[in-house]
Amino acid sequence: MSLSLSRLAYRDCFDVLERAQEDPKGARVRMADGDSAHYFRMRLYQARKLERIDNQRIYTKDNVMWGKSAYDGLMIRVRYEEETDLWWVYLEHMSIDPLRIETLSGDDHADRLPSGDLEPSPQLRSGNGPLRPSEERQSELDEPPVHSPKAIRRF
């Protein structure tokens, strides 16, 4: 199914994007079912894409907003709550909680980094490590799980 290229088709999406942008944490939208939630997420992506295209027409290449959307900082996810049997589309600000930031090359945690060669684990030294594909499996418990493509639901 193709999506409209007109901004007018996405008024509801721009309203939700704007409300999520204004809130410090974001927003969420309750949907009737999983298909509706996934379709709405797709429409939100399209609305954001259309704004990027419009901004390429509005701004010059040297402007920071050229080809970008004001909503690019929002992460859009579909979530299902089993306990309430509700589907939600979450629009959350992408940011980290800056409680503690440490550099990886600095001295603030050098004592926790391994130095030199690492010793193999006792499991690997004894030869009881993971089975190689060529090794024979001893029981059903050694078999890798088999998943049906229909059983896995990607959000």
Q: pLDDT per residue over 138-155, tens digit each?
A: 545 555 555 444 444 445
**Higher pLDDT, residue 143 or 88:** 88
Q: Is residue 106 situated within a structural domain?
A: no
Q: Is residue 143 situated within a structural domain?
A: no
Would you state the structure tokens that stand for residue 33, as one six-digit string?
């079912």
Q: Is residue 78 situated within a structural domain?
A: yes
pLDDT of residue 107: 62
Which of the 8 DSSP states describes residue 107? G
Q: Is residue 142 situated within a structural domain?
A: no
Region 66-77 average pLDDT: 96
Region 121-145 average pLDDT: 49
Q: Is residue 117 situated within a structural domain?
A: no
pLDDT of residue 112: 55
Q: Is residue 29 situated within a structural domain?
A: yes
Least confident of 13-17, 22-26, 51-55, 107-111: 107-111
Region 13-25 average pLDDT: 96
Q: Is residue 150 situated within a structural domain?
A: no
CA geometry: angle 95, 44, 90, nearest 5 deg: 45
pLDDT of 46 higher than 70: yes
Distance CA 49, CA 4 (A): 12
Q: Is residue 120 situated within a structural domain?
A: no
Q: Tally the domains of the chain.
A: 1
- Neighbouring-strand partners of residue 88: 30, 79
| SS3 call for 8 | helix
pLDDT of residue 151: 43
Single pTM value for the model: 0.62
Determine the structural domain holding residue 52 and report its residue range: 7-93
Computed over every residue of the chain, the mean pLDDT equals 79
